[in-house]
Amino acid sequence: MQYQVIQQQHELDNFISAIKTANVLAVDTEFMRRRTLYPEIALLQIYDGEQLALIDPLLELNFEGLWEIFQNPQVVKVLHSPSEDIEVFLKFAGFIPSPIFDTQFAMQILGEGNCVGFAAMVKQLLDVEIDKSESRTDWLKRPLTDKQLDYAASDVFHLLPCYKIIAEKITALGLFDIVVDESKLIAIKRSFKLPPELLYQDVKNVWQLKPRDLAILRELAAWRKAKAEVKNLALSFILKEHNMVEIAKRRPTSLNSLRNIPGIEAMEVNRSGKEILASVEAGKRVPENECPARVKRLIDFPEYKKEFKRVKHVVAEVAKENNIPADVFASKKQINQVLSWCWKKTEAERESLLQPDLNMGWRKELINGKLAEWL
C-alpha cells in the first residue's frame, strides 16, 4: 500500500489533477471530539484506486479544487457510516459532499447485518484483518506517526474494493439510488438545527416535569445550546442534562441553593452559575398560559401499542414488496417518530421541524401515502 502525505499546496494541486477524472472516490476523515460540540478535523484520506493521499487540514491549504470534485454529482464519494464525517465536512468545508454511498447502510440493505463495523466488513468481504489499535489516537497531535498514517491510509485503501463488491450487488437489486438517498437524509438531519424553544422536548425524563418546570427547562436548554455553540464545548461540559432537570424542578434562587442541588458540580456553578440562575428567573416570569404543556410519553397513549403494530405492519408490507429488510426500512425509533408527529406535535411545531423519516426521501416514495392517516 503506497500513499502520499500532502502538506504543500503544489502537492494538493497535483493530486487534484490526478483524480479529477475519477468516477468514484473512497473518502474518510480522522477527527477529534472529546470535549467539543463540533468535530475537529485532523486528517482527510482519499483514494481513487490508483492515487492515495493523506491531506493535512491543519495547514494553510487551498481546498477549492478538491471541493469542486466533492460537489460534482458525477463523482460518487464512498464512506463507511458517514454520519460524523458529514458533520466534519459541514464544519470544515461548509458543505456536505454529494452524492455519498454509505457502505454500512448498503450492507444493511443487503441483509448483511445492522451497523456492520468497518473492520468486520473488510474481513467479511476481503478476508483481511484490519488493525484498529490507532482508532482512539490523538489525531490532532503533530507529527503523526508512521503507524497512524498507515492506519489512516488502510481505511480508504480497503474501502474502495469493498464498495465495488457491494455496489455490484446493490445495482443488481436496483437499490443503488436508495443507498445514495439515505445519505442525503443523514445530511439533512445533521445540518438541521432544532429551534431553541423546542430543545427541551428532547431532554431525558422531560415527561416528569410540570408546566412551570418546563418553562424553566426550555430556557435552560436554549441557553445551554447557545453557549455550547459559542464556546465549541460539548453540551455536557456546559451543564449536564440530568442537572438541568433537577434545576428546573428545584428552581434555585441563589448560587448557594444551586450548589446544594444533588449532582450539580462545582465546575458548572463556577462557570455558569449566574447564567443558570438568570435562565431560571426567565422561566419563572413566563405567564402561566404560555408555559409548555406537560410532555406525554408515547406509552402514555392508550392506543400506542395497537397503532405501533398497525404502522409496523404497513412498513413490513412495503419493505417486502421492495426486497428491503423491514428493520432497515423503519426502525422502532422511526415508527415512533410517526406516532409522535401525529399525537404530540402541534401545527406550529410541525412547521419548524423536520418530517419523520418515513415521510422523507425514498421511504416516502415507496410508502406512497399508506401512512396518510398518521402523517
In this prediction, residue 135 has a pLDDT band, given cuts at 50, 70 and 90, of confident
What's the sign of the alpha-carbon dihedral 305, 311, 313, 319?
negative
**Is there a single domain that holds both residue 41 and residue 138?**
yes
DSSP label at residue 239? -
**Is there a single domain that holds both residue 214 and residue 325?**
no
Q: Rg of the chain's alpha carbons, rounded to an integer?
A: 24
**Is there a single domain that holds both residue 181 and residue 202?**
no
Is position 375 within any domain?
Answer: no
On the question of pLDDT at 163 being above 90, the answer is: yes
Read out DSSP for 256-306? HHHHTSTT--HHHHHHHHHHHHHHHHHHHTS-GGGSPPPPPPGGGSTTHHH
In this prediction, residue 242 has a pLDDT band, given cuts at 50, 70 and 90, of very high
- Over residues 237-242, the mean pLDDT reads 95
Which triple of cell numbers denotes residue 58? 491543519
Is position 225 within any domain?
Answer: yes
**Is there a single domain that holds both residue 66 and residue 152?**
yes
**Is there a single domain that holds both residue 29 and residue 54?**
yes
Residue 150 is predicted with a pLDDT of 95
- Over residues 337-352, the mean pLDDT reads 95
Q: How far is CA 5 from CA 44, 145, 148, 167, 319, in A?
A: 10, 12, 12, 29, 45
Is position 233 within any domain?
Answer: yes
On the question of pLDDT at 35 being above 80, the answer is: yes
**Is there a single domain that holds both residue 215 and residue 116?**
no
Which triple of cell numbers denotes residue 90? 459541514
CB 19 within 8 A of CB 68: no
Provide the number of structural domains found in the chain. 3
Active site residues: 28, 30, 85, 151, 155
Residue type, 18: A
- Over residues 29-33, the mean pLDDT reads 94
Q: What is the dihedral of CA 202, 208, 214, 217, to 10 degrees?
A: -60
Which triple of cell numbers denotes residue 320? 417486502
On the question of pLDDT at 113 being above 90, the answer is: no
- Say what percent of the chain tops pLDDT 90: 95
Residue 1 is predicted with a pLDDT of 85
Residue 229 is predicted with a pLDDT of 96
**Is there a single domain that holds both residue 58 and residue 103?**
yes
**Is there a single domain that holds both residue 47 and residue 62?**
yes
Least confident of 15-24, 109-118, 197-206: 109-118
Is position 97 within any domain?
Answer: yes
- Say what percent of the chain tops pLDDT 70: 100
In this prediction, residue 177 has a pLDDT band, given cuts at 50, 70 and 90, of very high
Q: How far apart are CA 76 and CA 99, in angstroms?
A: 5
211-225 in b/e burial notation, b at 16+ Cβ within 10 A?
ebbbbbbbbbbbbbb
Residue that terminates a domain, selected from 163, 191, 219: 191
Q: Give the CATH number of the domain where residue 347 resides.
A: 1.10.150.80
**Is there a single domain that holds both residue 31 and residue 112?**
yes
Q: How far is CA 375 from CA 297, 309, 336, 352, 360, in A?
A: 19, 16, 12, 15, 11
Which triple of cell numbers denotes residue 256? 448557594
Structural domain including 323 reads 298-367
Number of H helices, E strands in the chain: 17, 6
Is position 125 within any domain?
Answer: yes
Residue 131 is predicted with a pLDDT of 83
Q: Give the CATH number of the domain where residue 159 resides.
A: 3.30.420.10
Average pLDDT over the chain reads: 96
Give the DSSP H/E element, type plus range, for residue 152: helix 146-172
- Over residues 232-240, the mean pLDDT reads 95
Is position 312 within any domain?
Answer: yes
Q: How far apart are CA 370 and CA 328, in angstroms?
A: 18
Is position 51 within any domain?
Answer: yes
What is the pairing mode between strands 40-47 and 52-55? antiparallel
- Over residues 121-132, the mean pLDDT reads 92
Give the contacts of 7 (CB within 8 A, at least 6 positions apart).
Answer: 56, 59
In this prediction, residue 34 has a pLDDT band, given cuts at 50, 70 and 90, of confident
Is position 374 within any domain?
Answer: no
**Is there a single domain that holds both residue 122 and residue 58?**
yes
Residue that terminates a domain, selected from 164, 191, 218: 191
Q: How far apart are CA 124 and CA 162, in angstroms?
A: 9
**Is there a single domain that holds both residue 328 and residue 286?**
no
- The 10s digit of each residue's pLDDT in 306-336 is 999 999 999 999 999 999 999 999 999 999 9
Q: How far apart are CA 34 and CA 47, in angstroms?
A: 28
Residue 31 is predicted with a pLDDT of 96
Residue 115 is predicted with a pLDDT of 87
- Over residues 143-162, the mean pLDDT reads 96
Residue 261 is predicted with a pLDDT of 95
Q: How far apart are CA 191 and CA 38, in angstroms?
A: 12
- Over residues 343-363, the mean pLDDT reads 95
Look at the chain and count its residues: 375
Helix (H, G, I), strand (E, B) or coil at 243: helix
- Over residues 259-278, the mean pLDDT reads 94
CB 86 within 8 A of CB 60: no
On the question of pLDDT at 133 being above 90, the answer is: no
Residue that terminates a domain, selected from 174, 191, 208: 191
Which triple of cell numbers denotes residue 181? 438517498
What is the pairing mode between strands 76-79 and 24-32? parallel
On the question of pLDDT at 132 being above 90, the answer is: no
Q: 188 phi and psi, to 5 degrees?
A: -60, -45
Axis-axis angle for helices 211-231, 241-250 (nearest 10):
140
- Over residues 170-195, the mean pLDDT reads 96
**Is there a single domain that holds both residue 217 and residue 90?**
no
Find the largest Cα–Cα distance for the chain: 67
